[in-house]
Amino acid sequence: MIPTDSHSSETGHGDISTGVAGGDGNASATRITPGNALRPEDIALEVRTGTAKPSTDVAEYALRLGDDALILAQRLGHWISRAPELEEDVALGNIALDQLGHARSFLTYAGAGLGQDGVAKTEDELAYFRGEHEFRSAHLFEQPNGDFAATIARQFAVSYYQFELYSRLVESADPTLAAISAKAVKEVDYHRDHSAQWILRLAGGTDESRRRMIHGLALMWPYVGELFEDDALVTGLAEVGAAVAPSTLRDNFDRLTGEVLAAAELEVPDVPAALGGGRAGRHSEHLGYVLAEMQVLAREFPGASW
């Protein structure tokens, strides 16, 4: 069994123990609605009643996290009916739905601080009616699926990053960010377990599956560095306890992903870092195609409901 991090419980999910912080399966997922998972609808209600009102900086931070999850959900949704096993259709679909739930919560909260004249922007407005340069997702999330091994490599990096992030954000001074993260961390714990198991399986399978796994990691690893870049926004929010400085997550990320790769007898990819810029609205050519497909129905039929 791979050594586990300090958050792990004694029993894991599958062959790798990656239990959620605290290990209490009966614990509340939010300190706002005890005993119930915080839903986007709950946040929207608090926004409408004025009990949840983020500052502009907190709203911008929530927008980043929501955009990351939204774009990843769209990418993973492409695997439904295309995965190598029927079980993976279900698994990747469920991970996509988890990410979509995170996106809805973060975007709903972000919209409360990004509206005009006291009117909050809705999650749909932020998802479907912004241009490419207005999205704040990091480049890793928009990278093409590639083959299955490439998708697993992307998911491996994303899930270990998100787990470290949400594990720290549960202590955020902003109660809504803390509540969203408390729910999300329990879900991404399973996401990282899923990706780690596939890393081991593909690396230890055939020569071809191992070759593809190595290639997938090499494709995705140049975009990992951007996840851990600090800037003025997160630095300021971290100083008041609302956010987490991404750079402080890197050591744990490197240690834990390194343990999985070592167990798979793989090397951490030695590849040049990509330029990044997603947090400032500078994206690769891939995001435009994702948005064109994701937004077309809402833009063709604005105001429609189903």
**Higher-pLDDT residue of 63, 118:** 63
User: Which band of pLDDT confidence, cut at 50, 70 and 90, is reported for residue 4?
Assistant: very low
Q: What is the pTM of this model?
A: 0.87
From 28-32, 108-112, 135-139, the region with the lowest mean pLDDT = 28-32
Mean pLDDT of 10-24: 38
Looking at every residue in the chain, the average pLDDT score rounds to 88
Tell me what pLDDT residue 305 has.
Answer: 76
Nearest-angstrom CA–CA distance, 69 and 105: 10
> How many Å is the Cα radius of gyration of the chain?
19
Give me the residues paired with residue 194 across strands: none
pLDDT at 190 over 70: yes
Average pLDDT over residues 95-106: 97
CA distance 30 to 39: 10
Which of 268, 185, 190 is CA-nearest to residue 17?
190
Residue 123 has pLDDT above 60, yes or no: yes
- Nearest one of 99, 82, 87 to 145, comparing CA atoms: 82
pLDDT of residue 133: 97
pLDDT digits (tens, 9 = 90+) for 232-246: 999 999 999 999 999
- Ramachandran assignment for 94, one of left (phi > 0), alpha (psi -120 to 50 degrees), beta (any other): alpha
Q: Strand, helix or coil at 276?
A: coil
56-89 per-position pLDDT tens digit: 999 999 999 999 999 999 999 999 988 888 889 9
CB neighbours of residue 289 within 10 Å: 12
Which are the contacts of 254, defined by CB distance < 8 A and separation ≥ 6? Answer: 268
CA–CA gap between residue 137 and residue 75 (Å, rounded): 13
Q: Which two tokens stand for residue 278?
A: 């997603």
Question: Per residue, what are the HEC states of 198-227?
Answer: HHHHHHCCCHHHHHHHHHHHHHHHHHCHHH
Residue 2, classed as helix, strand or coil, is coil
| CA pair distance 183, 231, nearest whole angstrom | 26
Pairwise CA distance, residues 135 & 41, whole Å: 23
Could you say which of 2.60.40.1180, 1.10.10.10, 1.20.1260.10, 1.20.120.640 is the CATH number of the domain covering 52-267+275-297? 1.20.1260.10
- Tell me the domain boundaries of the chain: 52-267+275-297
**Per-residue pLDDT, 30:** 34
